């Protein structure tokens, strides 16, 4: 999905993993 860990990328990543 995202190769680089940008602010938005990590935010979405954490958001998805916290909403499972």
**pLDDT score at 15:** 82
DSSP 2-19: -SS--HHHHHHHHHHHH-
**pLDDT score at 2:** 52
Contact between 9 and 2 under an 8 Å Cβ cutoff? The reply is yes
pLDDT tens-digit series, residues 1-20: 555 556 666 777 788 878 76
**pLDDT score at 7:** 61
């Amino acid at each position: 999905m995202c190769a680089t860990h940008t602010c938005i990328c990590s935010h979405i990543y954490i958001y998805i993993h916290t909403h499972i």
